[in-house]
């Protein structure tokens, strides 16, 4: 007797649900995507206990007739694919025909739908249709999902706490609202409204609804295209970067995706503008011919493959870097009557040249006070303060210093506070980066060579990369067991600290092992700039302050240190007048 049997349909759906439906978020995602594919202009999501008890999704889409409502609960039943070739031209969010039968196999599903005629009411329990009857309903579809995983208690046990489940749903619905600004989204949990967008097509207003007014005022519109891709959307000023990667929203033909390469490209475009552990707020929509992408690589359809990824990455990089170079990125000290903290992190201030390799971490918090600022999202766009002059910031004149760390300067626009270490670090970083990247090296031959001794394993690893030292102007030769002799070095090394600098460079080589030359150059420039710049509490004269500020102006990016922390913040003249109540509005 044969031991192989064709699997029961309900059992097959229950197994498939393990891939499609892992948590309440998956149910919301599948139902919302169906509503979008149904050409809805309004979608309401109502949750009870983060969706564990009940999820209701109401839309005003095209609806279904009685036969479609029945077929929708059969596995692989779909209106979106007819033949194999359709897989290469997918223009809808759903297409597999797995969502509804998978959900219905592990929950109680109540569906009512209408095409503006007689409606249909379907009830499905544990994958079995219990009721199909006529009902009254205006055009659209309402689906209620109750008691998720009631018949698979093991999966219910592994759901996270309700706060986690709700947070994931809110994040997803926020992203869908950003993806489709022309659709009105309402999200409610336990009768509390969490999101309500206008649905009028204004993406900036959706950003305001999701992130608040302070972020909406600090967004920059970008758009551009090449032969294969069209990219549009908003990117944030570096100063409003967040600690959560989820604030980076990328869309392909309206579909929210997670693509590591694309996210890495965006972060690299913000390199040195934001700290390593921060992420810019980004909403980028990428339009592309469906034949150039593959979205059929995971049941949840979140990842995607690009057939011409390099041209896309190049376009995204160019658009972001160009926009960041067009605007003035000095953070304003946004203080309010209601006390809020404008976080200004002072970058690892540096000490006097007598000990240039000591690091001292300082984080400063500023708590000024000013009135709340509002703006009309329909008429006013975020400022794009273009800099028409030769330099990206105007000349500043130092008037003093606070705590031997923060230079106070002024010009016609207002008052500026400059972190002397962060400014010096930015100047030195660009200097070292340019020198390390130059084809021709200025080299100094040593009358007395520098002798460096290593452990045996470190010496063996270092010998593989002696060519790297040579490429940046350091001539090194073997000198007995586990020892190197340095006979020449670049002229830009800090005088009196050549040996320590070379040791730092060699430490980077040993740390990286196999590495890309560009990454090594970048890391070396950052390390040397950090170690060889003035520290906090190091007294400098007013002439030295002026010299520092003049050189900061000449930098390609004078707004942040190489670690992405601010070098400078400003109080405009108007800010100062409001602070002292000279201006009352």
Q: What's the average model confidence in pLDDT over 433-462?
A: 88
Give the per-residue pLDDT at 401. Answer: 93
DSSP letter assigned to residue 384? -
Answer left, alpha or beta for residue 403, where phi above 0 means left and psi between -120 and 50 means alpha: left
- Cα separation, 546 vs 418, in Å, equals 11
Q: What's the average model confidence in pLDDT over 316-344?
A: 70
* Structural Rg of the chain based on CA atoms: 30
Of the spans 82-91, 135-144, 185-194, 439-448, which averages the highest pLDDT? 185-194
Give the per-residue pLDDT at 130. Answer: 87
DSSP 258-324: --HHHHHHHHHHTTTTS-TT-B--EEEEEEE-GGGEE-TTSTT----EETTHHHHHHHHHHHHHHHH
Strand pairing category for 342-344 and 364-366: antiparallel
Least confident of 254-263, 393-402, 509-518, 547-556: 509-518
Give the per-residue pLDDT at 380. Answer: 39
Q: What percent of the chain has pLDDT over 70?
A: 79
Of the spans 342-351, 481-490, 503-512, which averages the highest pLDDT? 481-490
Give the per-residue pLDDT at 68. Answer: 85
Query: pLDDT, tens digit, for every residue of 384-438?
Result: 444 444 678 899 999 999 999 999 999 999 999 999 999 999 999 999 999 888 8
Residue 440 neighbours by CB under 8 Å, 6+ apart = none
Give the pair of three-digit tokens for residue 343.
């976080």
Q: What percent of the chain has pLDDT over 90?
A: 42
Q: Where are the domains of the chain?
A: 9-196, 218-326, 342-427+538-579, 443-491+495-531
CA dihedral 367→371→273→232, nearest 10 degrees, is 150
- Cα separation, 364 vs 14, in Å, equals 55
Least confident of 62-76, 99-113, 359-373, 396-410: 359-373
Of the spans 72-86, 245-259, 463-477, 546-560, which averages the highest pLDDT? 546-560
Q: Which fold has domain 443-491+495-531?
A: Ribosomal Protein S8; Chain: A, domain 1 (3.30.1370)
Domain 9-196 has CATH 3.30.565.10: yes
Q: How confident is the model at residue 277 (pLDDT cuts 50, 70, 90)?
A: confident
Query: pLDDT, tens digit, for every residue of 101-145?
Result: 888 888 899 999 998 888 899 999 877 888 899 887 778 999 999
Strand intervals (E) in 367-413: 397-402, 406-411
Sheet holding 140-146, edge to edge: 128-135, 119-125, 108-114, 140-146, 54-59, 42-48, 184-189, 192-196
Please tell me the CATH code under which domain 342-427+538-579 is placed.
3.30.1540.20
Please indicate whether residue 565 or residue 14 has the higher confidence score (pLDDT): 565
Q: Which helix (H) or strand (E) holds 70?
A: helix 66-71
Cα separations (Å) of 222 from 225, 234, 315, 339, 530? 11, 6, 11, 33, 33
Least confident of 1-5, 354-358, 376-380, 493-497: 354-358
Residue 307 neighbours by CB under 8 Å, 6+ apart = 292, 293, 294
Q: What's the average model confidence in pLDDT over 524-529?
A: 89
Query: pLDDT, tens digit, for every residue of 8-52?
Result: 555 454 444 444 577 889 899 989 998 998 999 999 999 999 998
Give the per-residue pLDDT at 78. Answer: 54
Report yes or no on whether pTM surpasses 0.75.
Answer: no
Strand intervals (E) in 534-578: 568-572
Give the per-residue pLDDT at 170. Answer: 93
Give the pair of three-digit tokens for residue 225.
């295209």
Give the per-residue pLDDT at 344. Answer: 30
Q: Which helix (H) or strand (E) holds 432?
A: helix 420-437
Please tell me the CATH code under which domain 218-326 is placed.
3.30.230.10
How far is Cα of residue 331 from the mean position of the Cα atoms in its chain?
19
Give the per-residue pLDDT at 513. Answer: 61
Give the per-residue pLDDT at 3. Answer: 54
Query: Is it the case that residue 374 has pLDDT exceeding 60?
Result: no
Q: Which residues pair with 134 in a beta bridge?
A: 120
Give the per-residue pLDDT at 284. Answer: 93
Q: What's the average model confidence in pLDDT over 222-235?
A: 94
Give the per-residue pLDDT at 552. Answer: 95
Strand pairing category for 293-294 and 305-306: antiparallel
Per CATH, 218-326 and 342-427+538-579 having the same topology is answered: no
Give the per-residue pLDDT at 43. Answer: 96
Cα separations (Å) of 385 from 304, 327, 373, 560? 36, 5, 18, 17
Instruction: Give the mean pLDDT of the chain.
Output: 80
Least confident of 306-320, 340-354, 414-428, 555-569: 340-354
């Amino acid at each position: 007797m044969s031991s192989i049997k064709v699997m029961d349909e309900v059992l097959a759906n229950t197994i498939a649900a393990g891939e499609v439906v892992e948590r309440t978020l998956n149910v919301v995602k599948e139902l919302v995507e169906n509503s979008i594919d149904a050409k809805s202009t309004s979608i309401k999501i109502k949750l009870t206990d983060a969706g564990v008890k009940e999820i209701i999704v109401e839309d005003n889409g095209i609806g279904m007739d009685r036969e479609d409502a029945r077929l929708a609960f059969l596995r692989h039943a779909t209106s979106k694919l007819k033949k194999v070739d359709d897989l290469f031209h997918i223009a809808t969010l759903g297409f597999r025909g797995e969502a509804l039968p998978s959900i219905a196999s592990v929950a109680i599903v109540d569906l009512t739908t209408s095409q503006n005629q007689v409606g249909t009411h379907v009830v499905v329990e544990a994958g079995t249709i219990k009721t199909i009857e006529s009902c009254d309903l205006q055009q659209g579809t309402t689906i209620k999902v109750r008691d998720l995983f009631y018949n698979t208690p093991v999966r219910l046990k592994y759901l996270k706490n309700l706060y986690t489940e709700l947070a994931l749903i809110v994040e997803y619905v926020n992203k869908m609202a950003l993806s489709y600004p022309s659709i009105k989204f309402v999200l409610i949990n336990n009768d509390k409204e969490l999101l309500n967008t206008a649905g009028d097509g204004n993406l900036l207003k959706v950003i305001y609804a999701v992130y608040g007014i302070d972020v909406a005022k600090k967004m920059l519109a970008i758009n551009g295209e090449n032969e294969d891709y069209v990219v549009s959307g908003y990117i944030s000023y570096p100063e409003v970067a967040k600690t959560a990667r989820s604030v980076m929203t990328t869309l392909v033909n309206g579909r929210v995706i997670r693509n590591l390469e694309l996210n890495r490209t965006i972060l690299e475009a913000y390199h040195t503008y934001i700290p390593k552990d921060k992420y810019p707020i980004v909403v980028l929509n990428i339009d592309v011919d469906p034949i150039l992408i593959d979205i059929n690589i995971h049941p949840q359809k979140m990842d995607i493959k690009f057939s011409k990824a390099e041209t896309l990455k190049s376009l995204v990089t160019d658009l972001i870097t160009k926009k960041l170079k067009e605007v003035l990125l000095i953070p304003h000290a946004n203080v309010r009557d209601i006390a809020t903290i404008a976080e200004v992190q002072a970058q690892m201030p540096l000490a006097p040249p007598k000990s240039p390799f000591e690091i001292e971490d300082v984080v400063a918090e500023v708590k000024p006070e000013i009135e709340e600022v509002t703006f009309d999202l329909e008429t006013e766009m975020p400022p794009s303060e273009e800099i028409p002059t030769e330099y990206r910031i105007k000349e500043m004149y130092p008037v003093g210093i606070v705590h031997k760390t923060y230079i106070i300067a002024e010009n016609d626009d207002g008052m500026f506070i400059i972190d002397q270490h962060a400014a010096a670090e930015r100047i030195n970083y660009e200097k070292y980066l340019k020198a390390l990247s130059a084809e021709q090296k200025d080299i100094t031959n040593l009358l007395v060579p520098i002798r460096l001794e290593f452990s045996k394993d470190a010496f063996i690893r270092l010998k593989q990369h002696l060519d790297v030292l040579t490429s940046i102007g350091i001539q090194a030769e073997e000198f007995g067991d586990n020892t190197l002799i340095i006979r020449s070095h670049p002229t830009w090394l800090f005088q009196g600290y050549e040996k320590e600098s070379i040791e730092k460079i060699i430490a980077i080589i040993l740390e990286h092992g196999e590495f890309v030359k560009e990454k090594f150059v970048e890391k070396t420039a950052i390390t040397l700039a950090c170690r060889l710049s003035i520290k906090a509490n190091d007294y400098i004269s007013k002439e030295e302050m002026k010299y520092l500020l003049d050189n900061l102006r000449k930098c390609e990016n004078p707004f942040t240190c190489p670690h992405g922390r601010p070098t400078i913040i400003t109080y405009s003249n108007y800010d100062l007048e409001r602070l002292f109540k000279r201006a009352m509005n």
